Amino acid sequence: MVVGELTQETDLLIIGGGPGGYSAAFSAAAHGISTTIVEATPALGGTCLHVGCIPSKTLLAMAEVMHLADGAKQYGLDYAPPKVNLEAMRAWKKQVVDRLAKGLESQCKKFGVERIKGKAVFEDSRHVTISGGDVSRIKFKQAIIATGSVPIRLRGIEIDSPRVVDSTGALELSDIPKTLLVIGGGYIGLELGSVYSALGSEVTVVEMTEGLLPGVDTDLARPLVKKLEKEFKEIRLSTKVTGMKNGDKAIEVLFDGANVPKTKTFDRVLVSVGRKPNSADLGLANTKVQVDQRGFVTIDDQLRTNDPKIFAIGDVAGEPMLAHKAIHEGRVAADVIAGKDIAYDRRAVPAVVFTDPEIAWCGLTETQAKAQNIAYEVKKVQWPASGRAVSIGRTDGLTKILFDPKTQRILGMGLVGPHVGEMIAEGVLAMEMAATATDIATTIHPHPTLSETIGDAAFAMLGGAAGH
């Protein structure tokens, strides 16, 4: 510390202003805890708001409008092809992000949370130094690490070229490449690939495993894969990228796999092979905080690290790397710090892939149940049995629920279809309440709606017949 430098004090220091960080800050402040949040970027919101969830879903909404217009032909409605105005699209995306960021700043003022710009590094278990801001040192009673995650780079393969981008670069929407290679068949790659395909790019996806969306229930992934096979130029599975070369006007990409070309050129390459926890360069070695081999901060069920004064939440604290999981963890950590006897239960964290169709699930998947030797009974409702699905021309959906065969308690729920991300909360609530098939079946679902298929699946578990 520089001689004469002042040390600011706070009861709770939160490092990171993403969904986990700001939710923890607002919750802690609501408990009357003096709270300071340190964020390296000028605005709160983190990756999710600025270069992740929100801008990607904004662009996906635009793609959805294009798909709806094209699909309206089956209703007898014929629209002219859309005229894409990239500048206006970027402006709308920025307007959405700026509006939400402004709302977070207002919340800071409302709850009396102090905002400090800069990068925090732990000196020890009570102090951090701040670089890049007006405050240079903070003494805290307790701290929460909420530093999120960063995209994984293909070391030794990825090259330094403006034509090779990660998800952040793809969301800038600088242009619409004629050809786009997406490396990685996970949800981020497929979401962004869907956006660029709708805008007119010829999209090729390569995935090193045997299927798209590794880890997702194959019954749920199947309708999406079938649709993407029509929309994308190519989908290459069990294929690795072994190198890239920067050409004058394109990127030459080298492949390894059965029945794939050894090389092919693309106007743009999107590297989307996952994310890693942002736990490096935080000075954690100066504390008792420990990280595992993958860089995740180790925590207990109250989100405490091995250092009793320091908590960790969100992506940096382990999978699943989802914003809503971070938000919930932030609230739990704040409650624990406020003295409440509460713990974080990971059994019912929903996941959503915002493609078209969407995929959403919570609890156990059938693959997990088999791997863990858990007894289950599965009930499926194909959406051609849904009057609502038929009326909107979207019979490609599926509702799938796993039940305990003895108690009929819900073990997991999976959905695929338009906007199922809005429906999965019923499954999450059912699991939180330890609901049974009877509880769901006797819950009156409005008719005609897609949510009826959830009730139908539960009714089928009771021996009834589904279909509306």
Alpha helices in 43-166 (DSSP H): 46-51, 53-71, 86-111
Beta strands in 134-229 (DSSP E): 137-145, 149-151, 164-165, 179-183, 202-207
Residue 379 burial (CB count, 10 A): 18
Closest listed residue to residue 129, CA positions, set 114, 113, 118: 118
Q: Residue 430 and residue 54: Cα distance in Å, rounded?
A: 27
Are 45 and 146 in contact by the 8 Å Cβ rule? The answer is no
Are 149 and 275 in contact by the 8 Å Cβ rule? The answer is yes
Look up tokens 């009930």; give the residue: 379
- Output the CA angle 431-424-390, nearest 5 degrees: 130
Are 267 and 250 in contact by the 8 Å Cβ rule? The answer is yes
Q: Residue 268 and residue 171: Cα distance in Å, rounded?
A: 13
Is 447 one of the catalytic residues?
A: yes
- DSSP structure string for 356-379: SSEEEEEE--HHHHHHTT---EEE
* Token pair belonging to 432: 């939180």
Q: Residue 362 and residue 145: Cα distance in Å, rounded?
A: 26
Look up tokens 């156990």; give the residue: 364
- DSSP structure string for 406-448: TT-BEEEEEEEETTGGGTTHHHHHHHHTT-BHHHHHTSPPPSS
**CA torsion sign, 112 to 117 to 119 to 124?**
negative
320 prior amide bond cis, ω within 30: yes
Q: Please pick, among 31, 328, 419, 447, the residue that the annotation labels catalytic.
A: 447
Going by DSSP bridges, is the β-strand pair 137-145/410-417 parallel, antiparallel, or unpaired? unpaired
Q: How far is CA 423 from the centre of its chain?
A: 17
Give the active site residues. 447
